[in-house]
Amino acid sequence: MPIPFLEPFRIKMVEPIRMTTREERTKTLAEASLNVFRIRGEDVYVDMLTDSGTGAMSDSQWGRLMVGDESYAGAKSFFRLKEAVEDVMGFPFVLPTHQGRGAESVLFQAILKPGQVVPNNRHFDTTQGNILELGGRPVDLAVKESGDPQLDAPFKGNMDIERLKSFIEEVGPENIPVGMLTITNNSAAGQPVSMANIRATAKVYRSFGIPFIIDACRFAENAMFIKMREPGYADKSIIEIAREEFSYADGCTMSAKKDAIVNIGGFLALRDHGLYEQVAEKLILHEGYITYGGLAGRDLEAVAQGLREGVDEDYLRYRLAHTRYLGEVLQAAGIPVYQPTGGHAVYADAGACLPHIPPEQFPGVALADMLYLEGGVRACEIGSLMFSHPDPATGKMITPPLELVRFAIPRRVYTRSHLEYIGDVAAEVVKNAGSVRGVKIVEAPKLLRHFLAKMDWIK
């Protein structure tokens, strides 16, 4: 069925952006030590660095900002958020946090002991980082198909259920304080997870008595994929599907900066009052009181409203079609793209695009740098720079299966012509792909090094 590419909104307010010259960009990139995170937003023309916190809020969300209740404790706005979370996700207990990683941090601080293990289909970098920082071990158990960029399958974000079972038996459930599942699977090219897989993952965790927490940032895009691809869901509403996704879990960590379309905010939602109380203590110390958790009352209002807008079917249909279109544009430009395109982003296979650059010379960084130089397009490496880390148990380097560059699409922000422009820029980069050099790290922190690393071209 063709998906209509129709924006269910129109533009009410604009933000000027500026095209730079090649000379300016060369200087900017050198000053940024080849790390696109170090480039100023105003020096970027089309910014696909992230879909997180970069969305355009609706008129209703901006309206809600004016009625934010800024009471320190018990603000009306908190109860509006709590109601929205309960309605859309079905969890009775909500702890607001400043963003998704805040929810991860307080959850793990409350329940994770050094040496313990947290399985996931694929941990996002902050989840991985939060676990490592507490002396835990993050383990990725996505299906093997997720590592095949050309395989066209509907749910490549799935958990490998058999591996999960044998892994838990191997390390012992007593060493696993919580089991996770990330929907959609951001680190595996934004691929969705099927309802059957959510159910099966929950069953495994439950059979071992392990609490099951969903990393829910893009649960609505995941629900739309289920509606479009999984038998039995075509006639269900998104909110019904979303509620079912969460019905199998004990809670979720949520970055509201994604599918709740706000510029800042997140929360931890839970079913169990005991766990809620355990985390609440950590929340007060690290984020803020239990009814605001590091956010202003107005932010809570915007999240509550955005959570409902995020599950609008017309919006989601447009959203997935928009993303798929960028995938088609890049393919046509000669950039090998991970198939099928995910929900929030298109992942270029930098390893295949620049086969002469080995993983330890970061082909993803090289491709992202060339896209910036060529046309002021900012995309982000999701490969060895972001994910390689020594295994805390063995000290051996763990490397990701693919070297990708992610074009993450801000929600309700860019038009079809911006996407076509990215295609034009990519085509120019492809023309000279053979002469692109790899990069080396000059300076980098240990944890989450991709944000701050300084790099140089290999001579």
Cβ 121 to ligand F0G shortest distance, Å: 10
Q: Considering only the stretches 18-26, 98-106, 232-240, 280-288, report the one whose residues sit in contact with ligand F0G under the rule CB under 6 A.
A: 98-106
User: Could you say which of 25, 82, 137, 257 contacts ligand F0G (CB under 6 A)?
Assistant: 257
For the chain, the residue count is: 459
- Residue of closest CB approach to ligand F0G: 100
Give the tokens for residue 13: 């307010």
E strands of 391-458, at which residues?
397-398, 404-408, 439-443, 454-457
Instruction: Order the strands of the 212-215 sheet from edge to edge.
Output: 93-97, 266-270, 251-255, 212-215, 179-182
- State which of residues 127, 146, 194, 339 lies at the interface with ligand F0G (CB under 6 A): 127
Asked if residue 217 binds ligand F0G (CB under 6 A), the reply is yes
We find the least distance from the C-beta atom of residue 272 to ligand F0G, in angstroms, to be: 21
Nearer to ligand F0G, 350 or 430 (CB): 350
**How do beta strands 93-97 and 380-382 pair?**
unpaired
Asked if 77 interacts with ligand F0G (CB under 6 A), we say: no
Residue 254 Cβ vs ligand F0G, minimum distance, rounded to whole Å: 8
The stretch among 110-118, 119-127, 147-155, 244-252 that binds ligand F0G (CB under 6 A) is: 119-127
Over the window 404 to 433, marking each residue x when it contacts ligand F0G by CB under 6 A and - when it does not, the resulting string is ----x-------------------------
**Cβ neighbours for 399, distance < 8 A, ≥ 6 positions apart:** 359, 384, 387, 388
Going 41 to 46 to 49 to 50, the CA torsion angle's sign is: positive
In this complex, which beta carbon is closest to ligand F0G, that of residue 268 or of residue 275? 268
Contacting residue, 28, 35, 52, 341, with ligand F0G by CB under 6 A: 52
Which residue number, 437 or 449, has a Cβ lying nearer to ligand F0G?
Answer: 449
Closest alpha carbon to 408 in 330, 350, 326, 333: 326
Distance CA 54, CA 436 (A): 30
Euclidean distance between CA atoms 196 and 198, whole angstroms:
6
266 makes contact with ligand F0G (CB under 6 A): yes
The CA distance from 170 to 238, in Å, is 37
Contact between 54 and ligand F0G by CB under 6 A: the answer reads no
- Which of residues 69 and 381 has its CB atom nearest to ligand F0G in the complex? 381
Verify cis geometry, omega within 30 degrees of 0, for the bond prior to 415.
no
Nearest distance from C-beta of residue 332 to ligand F0G, angstroms: 25
- Least distance in Å: CB of 47 to ligand F0G? 12
- Evaluate whether 399 touches 384 at the Cβ level (below 8 Å): yes
Rounded to an integer, what distance in angstroms lies between the CA atom of residue 101 and that of residue 254? 8
Task: Report the interface residues with ligand F0G, using CB under 6 A.
Answer: 50, 52, 99-101, 124, 126-127, 182, 186, 215, 217, 255, 257, 266, 408
